[in-house]
Amino acid sequence: MSKSYFMGLDFGTQGVRCGVTDEQGNILNYSEKKYQTTYPKPGWAEQSPADWVEKMEQSIGECYDKLGAEIFSGIKAMAVCTTSSTVIPMSDGDEYLSDAILWMDNRSVEQARRINASGHALLKHCGKEVSVEWIVPKMMWLKENRPDVYEKAERIVEQQDYINHHFTGRWCASVSQATCKSNFVEEAGGYDKSFFEAIGFPDFFEKADTDVLRQAQPVGAIKDEIADKYHLSRGIIVYQGGVDAHVNMIGLGVVNPGETGVVMGSSFVHLSLTDQEIFKDGIWGPYKDAIIPDMYCMEGGQVSAGSITKWFLNEFGVGGENPYGTMAEEAAKIPAGSEGVVALDFFQGNRTPYKDPVAKGIFYGITLSHTRAHLYRAILESVAYGTRNIVESMESEENKINRLRGCGGVVFNPLWLQIIADVTGKPIVLTEQSGNAGVLGCAVIAAVGSGEYESFPQACEHMVHVTKVVEPDEQAHEAYSGNYRKYLDLYKCTKHLNEI
């Protein structure tokens, strides 16, 4: 019996990964290529769509070179996941009119404020407030500040839509993106015209993709010229993927009610699945169908996490072949709690539970006795405190969170993983592909869409394999309690300073 192969493309903040798996979830090969982010003004962040495609082509090419024609010709289907609220204005000739406004860009503060001031009932589905990151305030910003671009735009799309169109020629949206980032609520009939009228943006419908597909629904067949270029069989189907964080959950096996996962990378995303609507202040959702059809997703997030450690290494001149390893070694010698140093991880604002785009990073409690190792460990601990704050905000009688499944670059940092487990008091479950869950999640979607498996739980049973559980240390958990309270108080005590 011949094997089935599936391709996954995972577009993250820093780069794109192409991977090919078999029907058992074994990743036969993957290749990652980095692209550039530019920061034209404070709080702004942009990327070039042409750069995405160029790096994707290089990544696919490297996989082909390693795997060869026989396996590539056996690829049965594919799916794509991307960052969310990375926004591109497109001409009627399908050319992008400006660089993409990246998800972390917070230029649309005023537009988000006006949306939230509307008080529309639909806002209950996003913790009563939209985020400055999301596509709707960014579309409004373009209309008000770049009318030259906005008026020429035939449509304004997500990165997901752009990549799917590149392969198939079809413009459509993902329910994963739409329900979480552009106020699509299936129970309210999809996009609610009264909401867009209330926020003063009724022409949303003139620019947005309103053809919304669920995960694993077919986007379409790959164009012949694209199939030939990428050494793929003509006629293979692209199945709808979604937000990278959501697809990571599928790649972790978070596909049943009561399961929670955390994407641990440049930023952190926390996602909890339930079989009922649970509304919590400060938490996004509940979003129906965002990850798994007919289930609800609660979402939290930290804008800055791994990006803070990268900043630290750059700005504090940590060199050598393995600067991350150097600082992890130094930080491991510092006691839990960093001997009184507490950091706030809001280096690019706060996503949840405060939804404060102008919140700032802080180091508190520094004395002349403290070293760079104390500061570095305080950063690791601050991200863990932020995760605890979000997880506790998500929990309720109806949603008991007993453990976390983890994926992303942080899973390769044993010290940081242990700190997160100790601070939260939750075991962290790792899988064989925790470092590559986006690619695997896309492959699972392609396997379900193509009929290899009947459902996501069935596919994950065969394709996702648990390898390790990081258990929390009870004594360390207690040791962190005082600094955690300081972490919570620091934001409350300093919030007003951001308004001066």
Residues 227-259 have pLDDT tens digits of: 999 999 999 999 999 999 999 999 999 999 989
Domain 254-431+465-499 in the same topology as domain 5-242: yes
Q: Strand, helix or coil at 212?
A: strand
Phi first, then psi, for residue 351 (nearest 5°) are -85, -65
* Contact of 46 with 35, CB cutoff 8 Å: no
**Residue 423 three-state SS:** helix
Domain over 5-242 is classified CATH 3.30.420.40: yes
371-415 pLDDT, tens digit each: 999 999 999 999 999 999 999 999 988 899 999 999 999 999 999
Q: Are 267 and 300 in contact (CB under 8 A)?
A: no
- pLDDT > 70? residue 168: yes
Provide the pLDDT for residue 371: 98
Name the residue among 187, 64, 36 with its Cα closest to residue 124.
Answer: 187
The b-or-e profile of 351-389 (16+ CB within 10 A means b, else e) is: bbbebbbebbbbbbbeeeebeebbbbbbbbbbbbbbbbb
**pLDDT, tens only, 100-140:** 999 989 999 999 999 999 999 989 887 788 889 999 999 99
pLDDT score recorded for residue 365: 98
Helix (H, G, I), strand (E, B) or coil at 431: strand
Reported as a pLDDT band with limits 50, 70 and 90, residue 492 is: very high
pLDDT tens digits, 318-356: 989 999 999 999 999 999 999 999 999 999 899 999 989
3-class secondary-structure state, position 137? helix
Query: Max Cα separation, the chain?
Result: 69
Q: Give the sign of the dihedral formed by CA 393, CA 396, CA 401, CA 405.
A: negative
Mean pLDDT of 267-294: 92
Arithmetic mean of pLDDT, 451-472:
97
Domain ranges in the chain?
5-242, 254-431+465-499
The CATH topology of domain 254-431+465-499 is Nucleotidyltransferase; domain 5 (3.30.420)
Per-residue pLDDT at 186: 80
pLDDT, residue 1, reads: 56
